[in-house]
Amino acid sequence: MGRALGIAMKRSRPRLLSRLFLLVMLSTFAYFIAVGMITPTLPRYVEGPLGSSNFAVGVTVGAFAVTAVLLRPLVGRTGDRRGRRILIIGGGIVVGLSIVGYDLARSLFPLILARLATGVGEAAFYVGAASVINDIAPDERRGEALSYFSLALFGGLAAGPLIGESILEASGFTPVWIAAGAAAVFAGLVGFLVTETRPEGIGAQPMKLIHRGALLPGVILSTNIWGLATFSAFIPLYVLQIGMAGSRFVFAVNSAIILSIRLFGARLPDKLGPGKSSRLALSGVMLGFLVMSLWADPVGLFLGTVLYSIGHALLFPALMTLAINRAPVSERGAVVGTFTAFFDLSFGIGAASAGAIATAFGYNGAFGIASAVAAGGLILMGYVSRSRARVRAEAASEAA
């Protein structure tokens, strides 16, 4: 009888995976292979052939966030008005062409211009892909859907650095930019196969450019993305300082842990609740960067990476679930646009600030600041908990 009940409950669960879901995952995987390929190679290009400083590394790595953060809310509104599919197609192609343009940059200024163009495509692609996933995900399985969706993201980020550094060591920077650009263009072309999911009848409604429900979750997300910017920009250089040959295995460990948690622990944000999941995640991020800061050794780096990766794996699905739950279906594009704008804003500020901090206090100082910023996110989660408790109390009072 128990087995029959379990089967019946399993059958009653709304379907999650579909052809459309898998197409979006394929497109996202290809896109983030491109992003992963330039993660360890771009800092080396800025410091090596272009002969620039740590601060220039941070500015260049984070430059794409300037255009991305300005365009995310507008792109989110466009997705609600015009559809998600066009964002995936246009975003992937623009990013691919801009990455190929890195090869034309023989000084810092043209490279920063190309990175700004990358930000335009980044804003469109991710809002389009994430909006499709949120459109088709059942409400009670949203955290699980976002966890599976992020498998494609971190799968690309896991494979990309291995591919990028291998091509760099074998053939130089030009083939890296060409291969990464081709992967991003392919991601955009897959978008032609994606079915439009924008809810009917919302195009004529007044749309929100900045969605209030996404603001606090977005601010908390930014405390983690600051650390991601620090990790992405300076791990490729930090590993050389502590005697390692390259950063590919650090990024591989990072992505492997995130992939494992998102695959085997996909239901954790739904089971634990987005609030508790977010607090646990921020604790892991804070401790991870603290270990990296205090233990300047390959063992310390890998241990800190493990702790940071566990936290990073849980945080994004939990916070996006919090944000999406605060808005009606017709405003999901605006929520995704506003929420993910904080990703770009914090990545840009974090990368540039970490560059200045690394110049003044070294890489370990930059990791220490990233730990302190994550601690600030934990403090903000207290406001979220009190806000949700107040809403529950008001609802109970109205019911009474």
Tell me, yes or no, whether 165 lies in a domain.
yes
Is the pTM value of this prediction over 0.85? no
pLDDT at 111: 92
Range of the domain at 151: 19-389
Q: Which of 209, 196, 167, 247 is nearest to 74 (CA)?
A: 209
- Mean pLDDT throughout 21-34? 92
Report if residue 271 sits inside a domain.
yes
Instruction: Tell me which residue of 12, 35, 350 sits closest to 183, measured CA to CA.
Output: 35
Whether 197 is in a domain gets the answer yes
Comparing CA positions, the residue from 17, 15, 8 lying closest to residue 263 is 17
Q: What is the CATH number of the domain that holds 311?
A: 1.20.1250.20
Q: Specify whether the CB–CB gap between 128 and 192 falls below 8 A.
A: no
How distant, in Å, are the alpha carbons of 117, 126, 143, 250, 254 from that of 231?
A: 23, 21, 25, 10, 10
Distance CA(203)–CA(218), nearest Å, equals 25
Under 8 Å between Cβ of 254 and 305? yes
Q: How many CB atoms lie within 10 A of CB 16?
A: 15
Q: What percent of the chain has pLDDT over 70?
A: 84
Whether the predicted pLDDT of 40 surpasses 80: yes
Please report the pLDDT score of residue 23 as a whole number. 92
Residue 55: name the closest of 347, 355, 351 by CA.
Answer: 355
Cα–Cα distance measured from residue 266 to residue 271, given in angstroms and rounded to the nearest whole number? 10
Domain annotation covers residue 395 = no
- 400 part of a folded domain: no
Q: Given this model, what pLDDT does residue 399 score?
A: 46
Asked whether residue 311 is domain-assigned, the answer is yes
124 pLDDT higher than 50: yes
pLDDT in tens, 298-329: 899 999 999 999 888 888 777 877 777 766 66
Task: Please report, for residues 78, 259, 264, 382, the alpha-carbon distance to residue 216 in angstroms, rounded to integers and kept in the order given.
Answer: 22, 26, 28, 11
Question: What are the start-end ranges of the E strands in 98-164?
Answer: none
Cβ atoms 223, 353 nearer than 8 A: no
Neighbours of 14 (CB within 10 A): 9
Average pLDDT of the residues in 8-26:
71
Q: And the tokens for 1? A: 């009888």
Total count of domains within the chain: 1
Instruction: Indicate the residue type of 152.
Output: A
Domain assignment present for 5: no
Mean pLDDT score, 110-128 = 89
Confidence class of residue 207 from pLDDT cuts 50, 70 and 90?
Answer: low
Place of tokens 């401790």: 287
Q: Identity (one letter) of the amino acid at 50? A: L
Q: Is residue 61 within 8 Å of 229, Cβ to Cβ?
A: yes
Residue 221 has a pLDDT of 83
DSSP 297: S
Tell the residue number behind the tokens 């405003």, with chain if given.
331
Q: Over the stretch 240-286, which tens digit does the pLDDT of each residue have?
A: 888 887 787 888 888 788 878 877 777 777 777 777 888 888 888 99
Q: Is residue 266 part of a domain?
A: yes
3-state secondary structure of 156: helix
Task: Give the CB-side neighbour count of residue 251, counting CA atoms within 13 A.
Answer: 33
Cα–Cα nearest to 161, from 93, 256, 46: 256
In this predicted model, what pLDDT tens digit does every residue of 329-348 receive, in sequence order? 666 666 777 777 777 777 77
